[in-house]
């Protein structure tokens, strides 16, 4: 059974080295676990979509909740899926500071990443548009 989970969290330490460490660990661990997804980061906030088997995704989300690099972890969306939407990435990366602000404004009150103020479906729509407009890098 495939599932998609979307969550938001705040970075405890927003330094580039910490973000790269999270991406590196994801790209190493996810292929072994059959997990794909994307990580959107901006303004100290993570928005991440994870896809894979139910137990693998649930286990990973439990690990993220306990990870000292994350705080204010909030589940935004969880659903059973028939196919992956983000299957091309072991962990694709979006740097919000480098995308057109109008995309963010389309989905929120301000031109900044704030998944805490929108629904999970809105967050999914934002991630899908970022993918469609080639804002995702790191196809590792």
DSSP 110-126: SSS--GGGS-HHHHHHH
- Kindly report, residue by residue over 43-101, the tens digit of the pLDDT: 889 999 999 999 999 999 999 999 999 999 999 999 999 999 888 766 667 767 677 88
Distance separating alpha carbons of residues 70 and 51, to the nearest angstrom: 20
For 99, phi then psi, to 5°, come to -105, 165
Q: In what order do the strands lie in the sheet with 2-11?
A: 70-81, 2-11, 45-53, 36-42, 92-95
Q: Which of 86-90, 96-100, 109-113, 133-137 reaches the highest mean pLDDT?
A: 109-113
pTM above 0.75, yes or no: yes
Burial 111-124 (b: 16+ CB within 10 A, else e): bebbbeebebebbb
């Amino acid at each position: 059974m495939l599932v998609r989970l979307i969550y938001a969290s705040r970075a405890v330490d927003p330094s580039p080295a910490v973000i790269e460490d999270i991406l590196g660990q994801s790209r190493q661990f996810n292929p072994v676990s059959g997990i794909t997804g994307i990580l959107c980061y901006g303004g100290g906030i993570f928005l991440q979509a994870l896809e894979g088997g139910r137990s693998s995704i649930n286990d990973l989300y439990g690990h993220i909740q306990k990870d000292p690099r994350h705080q204010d972890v909030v589940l935004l969306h969880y659903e059973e899926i028939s196919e992956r939407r983000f299957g091309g990435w072991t962990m694709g990366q979006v740097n919000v500071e480098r995308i057109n602000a109008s995309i963010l404004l389309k989905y929120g009150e301000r031109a900044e990443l704030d998944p805490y103020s929108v629904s999970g479906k809105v967050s999914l729509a934002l991630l899908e548009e970022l993918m469609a407009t080639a804002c995702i890098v790191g196809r590792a």
